[in-house]
């Protein structure tokens, strides 16, 4: 057996320590909440997890209804965090910091208003799941329509895929192809030297719901500088699109801290 001696310089030790810290941070982001039990394995590639309590309404013997927990062995469940969780978390943090400044200034506190309604978030996540299901089907829409319109062939699977295609087309029509943020004439020096591009509603919805990007990341990807007015206008455009996806034509103006 040959013994070897490895000499590591101070710079090498620092790199090893930095790598250990980086790996520890990745593992921490992939940890599952302890309330969900030990059966869910840690998977850093899955991303951060958000804990929630599954419940359902059940009728009592007296004719009323009660909400009960339905988790396995009374445990909570978990799902992968998305862009809406990140934006809401950043907005809450910004609101708490603003409330601290208001308290020091002797001003009255203000209630926090969420950036998105539960219905809007549900519509966004349903849209992401639908797109993933259609993409994973491995069937082109043209060939599926040929099978569906023919007298023979097809089955329950093809019928389900065809319904998904129809629903996705309907959602795309509801989203529309209009502009969410129009480019105005402005010197690049005023915009931090960046060349801005128009942001379309469909692109906005896909980047947030499918690409897991925040409002500010969408602005940055199109060459827009960080601006409170621009981020608020873009968020309202996203809210309007999500409301249309639910079947609503009008979106309620909401106030909040954009992220």
Q: 198 lies in a domain?
A: yes
pLDDT value at position 119? 95
Cα 203 to Cα 155, 186, 235: the distances in Å are: 34, 23, 13
Report the distance separating Cα 114 and Cα 125, nearest Å: 17
> Model-level pTM?
0.74
Q: 86 lies in a domain?
A: no
Q: What is the pLDDT along the chain (259 residues), one digit of tens a residue?
A: 555 555 556 666 667 777 888 888 888 877 888 888 888 888 887 878 888 888 888 888 888 899 888 888 888 888 888 999 999 999 999 999 999 999 999 889 899 999 999 999 999 999 999 999 999 887 765 555 555 554 445 567 778 888 999 999 999 999 998 888 655 544 555 555 567 888 999 999 999 999 999 999 999 998 887 777 888 889 999 999 999 999 886 444 444 445 5
> Number of folded domains in the chain?
1
Report the distance separating Cα 188 and Cα 223, nearest Å: 10
Q: 129 lies in a domain?
A: no
Q: 201 lies in a domain?
A: yes
DSSP per-residue letters across 102-168: HHHTTPPP-----SS-HHHHHHHHHHHHHHHHHHHT---HHHHHHHHHSSS---HHHHHHHHHHHHH
Q: 8 lies in a domain?
A: no
The phi, psi pair for 181, rounded to 5°, reads -145, 115
pLDDT value at position 253? 43
Q: 186 lies in a domain?
A: yes
- Domain limits for position 206: 179-246
pLDDT value at position 86? 92
Q: 13 lies in a domain?
A: no
Q: 43 lies in a domain?
A: no
Report the distance separating Cα 78 and Cα 55, nearest Å: 13
């Amino acid at each position: 057996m040959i013994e070897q001696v490895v000499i590591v310089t101070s710079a090498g030790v620092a790199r090893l320590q930095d790598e250990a810290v980086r790996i520890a941070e990745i593992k921490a982001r992939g940890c599952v909440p302890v309330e969900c039990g030990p059966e869910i394995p840690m998977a850093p590639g899955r991303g951060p997890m958000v804990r929630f309590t599954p419940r359902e309404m059940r009728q009592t013997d007296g004719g009323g209804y009660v909400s009960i927990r339905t988790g396995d062995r009374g445990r909570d469940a978990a799902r992968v965090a998305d862009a809406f969780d990140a934006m809401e978390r950043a907005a809450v943090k910004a609101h708490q910091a603003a409330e601290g400044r208001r308290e020091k200034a002797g001003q009255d506190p203000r209630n926090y208003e969420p950036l998105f309604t539960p219905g809007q978030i549900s519509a966004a996540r349903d849209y992401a799941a639908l797109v993933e299901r259609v993409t994973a089907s491995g069937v082109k829409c043209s060939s599926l329509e040929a099978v569906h319109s023919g007298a023979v062939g097809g089955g329950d699977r093809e019928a389900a895929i065809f319904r998904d295609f129809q629903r996705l087309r309907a959602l795309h029509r509801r989203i529309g192809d209009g502009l969410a943020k129009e480019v105005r004439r402005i010197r690049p020096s005023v915009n931090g030297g960046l060349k801005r591009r128009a942001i379309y509603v469909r692109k906005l919805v896909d980047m947030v719901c499918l690409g897991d990007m925040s409002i500010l990341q969408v602005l940055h990807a199109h060459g827009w500088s960080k601006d409170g007015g621009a981020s608020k206008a873009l968020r309202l455009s996203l809210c309007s699109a999500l409301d249309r996806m639910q079947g609503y034509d009008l979106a309620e103006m909401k106030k909040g801290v954009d992220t």
